Structure 1
Amino acid sequence: MRLAFILGEIGTGLRRNLSMVISVVLVTFVSLTFVGGAAMLQQQIGQMKGYWYDRVQVAIFLCGENYGSETCAEGAVTDEQRSDIEAMMDSPAVAQYIENYVYESKDQALSHFREQFENSPIVDTVTAEQLPESYRIRLVDPEKYEVINELFSSMPGVDVVVDQRELLEQIFSIMTVASFVSLSIAGVMIVCAVLLIATTIRLSAFSRRRETGIMRLVGASKLVIQLPFILEGVIAALIGAALATGALWAVGQFFIEGRLAKEYPDTAFISSSDVWIIAPGLIALGVVLAGVSSMLTLRRYLKV
């Protein structure tokens, strides 16, 4: 009997404040979608770091003709200088840091360039002579880049030593900033959701003040009187959280897996299944926000 009464009161409250309930659902949906989007970005950053850091290389670019850098003042790299560089990489003191290395000639560099920029209008204007020779080194520990840089950057015939991880860090930094922006927007939307929930509960309590007064007179407990109001806000937040989870799953399924993963097969992307790791947190956040804001509102506007 008591459960049926509570469910009836919830239904009455939702019908009387339908427009406000829909507003709560939409604002909760938008705010939790931004929270989930930020979480997905962090998952993607972690996935890419784990994938690319295992494949990151250090590139030792060799001098060519008419290079303007100070290290190439003596002209293009010679065979003797190449031999010295390889001897240094094979020496016991340096080999412990190097997993493997390969030499890339100008022609190989041009071939790789054409593969990477096959859709670019500049691909046919670049020649092999414009590209440098290089050694591509995979380190045992990518954190030891500075050791390689110090050893090889001053050697004759070396133009510059480049850590590809620095380029990746720039990309990860941009993604991290994007996730913080998403969280900031989510924070504003969450405040809006809390205020809307509080307003909805306040209006519901005001419109049913006669019923609550009668309930107090007949001895109904504080929990029985307040629970329908609290559950109204929780139900609206749960619907919003469910919609946010569905939207994030759709992004993962149709945009990330259906498009990005196919266009960039060499990049490690998260999948739609990763959304289910985020989903419990979104639902819990929605329930907590709705429950706490409802309870605080009832303490102020519904004296029991």
Structure 2
Amino acid sequence: MELLAQPLEPGEVYCEQCHARRGDERCEFCAQALCAVCHWTSSSSSGVRSSRHALVCVETALAEKRRELLGDRGLCVECGKAADRECATCGDRYCSVRWMGNPGCFERFHSKGKRSDHTFTMVEVPTEMPQEILALEEQVRAKRRRDAEMAEQEAKRMAAALLEEEGATAKRKAAKTRQKKTKKSKSKKRLTVDAPEGKKMCAVPQCRHRALVLGVPGVSFCPEHFTLQHALEVAGKDPQEAAKLLALVENGGGRVLKSQKSGWQGLLPSRLFSRDYRKATDTSQKVKEPPPSIPAESSVTSTT
């Protein structure tokens, strides 16, 4: 029979077992939201409250079987195991099971205040548990191992995802930093082209002429593309010196200076232009120079 879904108020959830009634209780073992019908149902032949949830929760099933065998008084009030000792003052029963970090349910519960003065008496418990309970105990241990493994795998997955996200964020930041550095370097970078064997070529595209040999970083232009702006940069923003340098470049280097001066004037044609360029210039100038005229000898009248 299919159950009709119960209307819920804001913030309420359905039972995770029947998915029809309001889940207003929690399983103490798996923490699922359960309705009162699925959580507790008096269907046990022994009269002990049993739970429908035991059909899907092995830990609840184990608790139910222990309760049927030992009764409510036969279970430890702390962990639900078989109780073998009873507090003489409180009347509650506890087990004597100990494990690492747990000195015992009775000792832990009676460690402070006036409870530390309480004593306990031993009670009888079955020496052997039925095979059904032993099988359920093994199922509970296997389930807890699986839960621990799943929790460990989930923790590793989350850690890997976190590391991957951090790595991607670091890569994005590094890429942005490189882009900023590249933009800055491009804005500050001057046009220079290095020819093979370390020779400087003109920075103008498609121009393969040798650049002027100037001791100024970034100025790599041939005489044809050497502008007034470049001359001003070489001459230290001095217009007069820049004009002289530009005239020197346009005239093919001029004559060899007899006295070297500071600044760009110290760059003789031997440093400013290549050897082939100077030889070609000197040859053209020699060809253009007219042959020296031989003055006619004046007639001298000798007197005897």
Which of the pair has more CA radius of gyration?
2
Report the TM-score range of the alignment, normalised by the length of the smaller protein: under 0.3
Give the TM-score, by structure 2 length: 0.25
